[in-house]
């Protein structure tokens, strides 16, 4: 079932270099974003040993290790960053929906790739990043860390994460509040069809987290290109509706546009920046919408 | 020109038109299942009315046409009054073909008078031909308005006893006969083979008759009971029962003339064949198997049968034992010109089956081309 890990296409990777993760508070108290120095050491958490180089402070030499190995090693610790980037990934069954034109590319896949792009951005600027997969069976949580190892772990875990079930309920979501720090950047990737999801990010925003929401849509939801008889099945509730595509089209498009407008107003009111991503668009388009300065990639 | 159907019930096959319609009916009852998370914004409409919709209109039309044509074929369409009134020329066998072509003209449709009416360009027909009957047939099958010319040699052969009476006025022209028409050889005299016992008294009458025919050298007379060749006439003068071998010989095609003293159960169909001046029968007989058996009713003595001494005995005996002559079939062409008083026959309607078959083949070809074209399987 596990598929080969997703990788970021090269042209997307090159476009990502123009971006930087910034919060509205921008350049916070202890410096969020690109740090001028990659200097390590002030933190508590051990990161790695490295060989002594001339210029290192003598007090940072691990003398016990010198006693054992007769070599100078410098003990480095993780730089504690005040702000972490969290990816909240909706893993309910509705995320498995794909366009018939490209049935192996669901919006879950697009959301995973978008999360990897965010992780790539965070890794480039040395920020910690973690993720939470939201589903009703229990959360999939990875605490924020820095570096390539975290990125690769993300790739592997995402390849195992399959969308199933309904949206997580409040009890399941409880640990989330302990993890996400007060000023963390939260990227919410979901189809935004579940009321519980919207309520969650509204509360997160009210509690001071900076929340960015990307509504993942399929091209069929945008265009409703159905002609003929269909049995529409809701993947989460299992309810179905039989109808003729052509007859349903106009009402659906009107009502769906109204629902999206209402959602937009609601998110605006909560102070949540939001955008929509439709399957088939360039995967970094939402990131350019949030963090870019120039035109969006076509 | 009246179109009509010879078997209108065949149109019941038009019911088969439902088959291509059913094949092309778009199946609307099947709904494709589809995951659709945004279902809550779909409005539940009343089910759309099932309208009849068909796929591939062109192919459907060709298939309907094909079925309709087949049904029409079963109904046997025909046309009444669609007749070819062009002039025809009939040529009797024996006419010189070159002269006949010249007389008929280059463009006329000319046929030999022969079974099947072959065209004049084919070889002249051989063998005996029932000329009168064939002319009557051709005339009866010809549309009423079509003029008919018949080219005949000076002497016609193969006519029957009834004078030609046709449904139209016919141009009756006598053309020079083909050169080298063979003269018929004279019929040879019969061969007599006499079988007798004891006294040979009646023998001389037969010998005298054979001499009168000029067939003395073929005359044989034996005292035994051996059987002659099949073409000879057996004259059986032995008294007493006729042996079974003679009966067999006759049944297989021989002709036997028995004396009055010979004992044989005569065939049931026998009757008097020769009577004297007073009208009493001298010879009776009839067919036995494939042959004939004849028997004198009186002893072969001048006292009992004075005709034995009559000058006409040889000729009468020859007529008696020869096979019957064919009926007269020769007539001078000028005397056999047909009359034109017969009532015309109604012509049968002309069937269009062949043309319809061509149409069906074309429709079938078109259907196959449409049904197997590549674009149809591309999707």
ipTM of the complex: 0.70
Same domain, B74 and B103: no
Instruction: Say which residue the tokens 């909706």 belong to.
Output: A90
Question: What's the rounded Cα separation, in Å, for the pair B254 and B293?
Answer: 8
Same domain, B224 and B310: yes
Q: Does B217 touch chain A (CB under 8 A)?
A: no
Q: Is residue B186 part of a domain?
A: no
Same domain, B203 and B316: yes
Q: Please name the member of B29, B38, B45 whose beta carbon is closest to the beta carbon of A221.
A: B38
Q: Is residue B174 part of a domain?
A: yes
Q: Is residue B276 part of a domain?
A: yes
Is B34 within 8 Å of A229 when comparing Cβ atoms?
A: no
Count of domains in chain B? 3
Give just the sign of the alpha carbon dihedral B56, B59, B62, B63: negative
Output DSSP code: residue B75.
Answer: T
pLDDT band at A29 (very low <50, low <70, confident <90, very high): very low
pLDDT in tens, chain B (379 residues): 788 888 999 999 999 999 999 888 876 556 778 888 888 888 777 665 566 777 788 999 999 999 999 999 999 999 887 778 888 898 888 888 888 888 888 777 889 999 989 988 888 888 788 889 999 999 988 888 888 999 988 888 888 888 889 998 998 988 888 776 566 667 778 888 888 887 666 788 888 888 888 877 788 888 877 888 888 888 888 888 888 888 888 888 888 888 888 888 888 888 888 888 888 888 888 888 888 888 888 888 888 888 888 888 888 888 888 877 777 888 888 888 888 888 888 888 888 899 999 999 999 999 999 988 877 776 5
Same domain, B203 and B306: yes
Work out the minimum CA distance from B368 to partner chain A, whole angstroms.
29
Which residues, other chains included, contact B170 with Cβ-Cβ below 8 Å and sequence gap of 6+? Answer: B139, B148, B149, B150, B338, B340
Is B43 within 8 Å of A252 when comparing Cβ atoms?
A: yes
Same domain, B233 and B143: no
Domains of chain A as residue ranges with CATH:
10-21+85-289 (3.40.50.410), 39-79 (no CATH)
Is B37 within 8 Å of A255 when comparing Cβ atoms?
A: no
The burial of A28, by beta-carbon neighbours within 10 Å (0-12 exposed, 13-18 middle, 19 or more buried), is given as: middle
Q: Is residue B120 part of a domain?
A: yes
Same domain, B58 and B125: no
Same domain, B108 and B147: yes
Question: What's the rounded Cα separation, in Å, for the pair B307 and B292?
Answer: 22
> Rounded mean pLDDT of A6-14?
90
Q: Is residue B341 part of a domain?
A: no
Same domain, B228 and B300: yes
Chain A residue numbers with beta carbons less than 8 Å from the beta carbon of B42 are: 232, 241, 243, 248, 251-252
Same domain, B125 and B241: no
Q: Write out the DSSP string of A98-150.
A: B-TTSTT-BHHHHHHHHHHHHHHHHHHTT-EEEEEEE-TT--EEEEEE-SHHH
Same domain, B121 and B217: no
Same domain, B167 and B200: no
Q: Is residue B156 part of a domain?
A: yes
Q: Please name the member of B35, B38, B45 whose beta carbon is closest to the beta carbon of A243.
A: B45
Q: Is residue B17 part of a domain?
A: yes
Q: Please tell me which residue of chain B has the smallest CA distance to A192.
A: B38
Q: Does B27 touch chain A (CB under 8 A)?
A: no
Of all residues in chain A, what percent are helix, strand and coil, respectively (each to 5)? 35, 20, 40
- The domain in which residue B103 lies consists of 88-180+331-335
Q: Is residue B297 part of a domain?
A: yes
Q: Please name the member of B30, B32, B42 whose beta carbon is closest to the beta carbon of A252.
A: B42
């Amino acid at each position: 079932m596990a598929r080969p890990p997703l990788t970021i296409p090269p042209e997307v990777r090159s476009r990502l270099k123009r971006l930087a993760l910034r919060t509205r508070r921008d350049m916070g108290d202890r410096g969020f974003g690109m740090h001028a120095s990659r200097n390590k050491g002030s933190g508590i958490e051990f990161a790695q040993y490295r060989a002594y180089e001339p210029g290192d402070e003598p007090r940072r030499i691990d003398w016990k290790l010198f006693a054992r190995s007769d070599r100078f090693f410098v003990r480095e610790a993780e730089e504690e960053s005040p702000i972490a980037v969290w990816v909240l990934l909706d893993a309910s069954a509705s995320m498995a929906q794909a366009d018939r034109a490209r049935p192996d590319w669901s919006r879950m896949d697009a959301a995973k790739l978008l999360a990897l792009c965010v992780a790539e951005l965070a890794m480039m600027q040395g920020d910690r990043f973690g993720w939470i997969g939201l589903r009703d069976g229990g959360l999939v949580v990875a605490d924020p860390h820095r570096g390539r190892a975290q990125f690769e772990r993300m790739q592997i875990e995402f390849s195992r994460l399959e969308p199933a079930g309904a949206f997580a309920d409040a009890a399941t979501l409880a640990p989330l509040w302990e993890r996400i720090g007060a000023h963390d950047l939260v990227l919410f990737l979901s189809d935004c069809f579940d009321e519980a999801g919207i309520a969650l990010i509204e509360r997160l925003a009210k509690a001071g987290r900076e929340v960015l929401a990307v509504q993942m849509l399929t091209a069929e939801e945008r265009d409703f290109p159905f002609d003929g008889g269909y049995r529409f099945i809701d993947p989460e509730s299992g309810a179905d509706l039989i109808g003729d595509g052509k007859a349903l089209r106009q009402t659906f498009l009107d009502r769906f546009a109204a629902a999206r407008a209402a959602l937009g107003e609601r998110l605006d009111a909560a102070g949540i920046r939001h955008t929509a991503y439709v399957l088939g668009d360039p995967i970094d388009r939402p990131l350019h919408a949030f963090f870019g300065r120039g035109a969006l990639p076509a | 020109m009246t179109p009509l159907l010879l078997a209108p019930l065949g149109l019941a096959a038009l019911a088969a038109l439902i088959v291509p319609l059913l094949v092309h009916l778009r199946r609307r009852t099947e709904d494709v299942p589809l995951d659709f998370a945004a279902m809550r914004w779909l409005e539940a409409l009343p089910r759309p009315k099932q309208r009849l919709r068909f796929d591939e209109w062109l192919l459907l039309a060709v298939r309907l046409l094909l079925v309709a044509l087949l049904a029409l074929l079963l109904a046997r369409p025909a046309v009444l009054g669609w007749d070819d009134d062009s002039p025809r020329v009939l040529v009797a066998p024996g006419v010189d073909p070159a002269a006949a072509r010249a007389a008929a003209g280059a463009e006329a449709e000319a046929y030999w008078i022969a079974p099947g009416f072959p065209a004049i360009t084919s070889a002249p027909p051989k063998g005996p031909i029932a000329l009168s009957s064939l002319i009557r047939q051709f005339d009866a099958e010809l549309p009423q308005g079509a003029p008919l010319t018949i080219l005949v040699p000076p002497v016609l052969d193969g006519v029957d006893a009834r004078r030609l009476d046709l449904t139209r006025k016919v141009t009756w022209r006598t053309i020079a006969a083909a050169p080298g028409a063979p003269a018929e050889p004279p019929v040879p005299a019969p061969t007599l083979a006499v079988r007798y016992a004891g006294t040979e008294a009646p023998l001389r009458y037969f010998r005298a008759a054979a001499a009168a025919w000029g067939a003395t050298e073929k005359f044989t007379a034996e005292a035994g009971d051996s059987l002659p060749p099949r073409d000879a006439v057996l004259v059986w003068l032995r008294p007493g029962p006729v042996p079974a071998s003679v009966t067999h010989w006759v049944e297989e095609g021989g002709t036997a003339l028995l004396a009055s003293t010979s004992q044989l159960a005569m065939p049931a169909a026998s009757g008097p064949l020769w009577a004297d001046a007073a009208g009493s029968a001298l010879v009776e007989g009839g067919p036995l198997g494939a042959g004939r058996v004849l028997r004198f009713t009186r002893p072969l003595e001048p006292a009992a049968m004075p005709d034995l001494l009559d000058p006409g005995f040889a000729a009468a005996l020859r007529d008696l034992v020869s096979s019957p002559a064919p009926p007269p079939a020769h007539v001078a062409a000028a005397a056999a010109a047909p009359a034109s008083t017969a009532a015309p026959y109604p012509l049968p309607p002309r069937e269009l089956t062949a043309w319809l078959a061509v149409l069906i083949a074309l429709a079938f070809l078109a259907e196959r081309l449409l049904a197997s074209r590549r674009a149809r399987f591309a999707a």
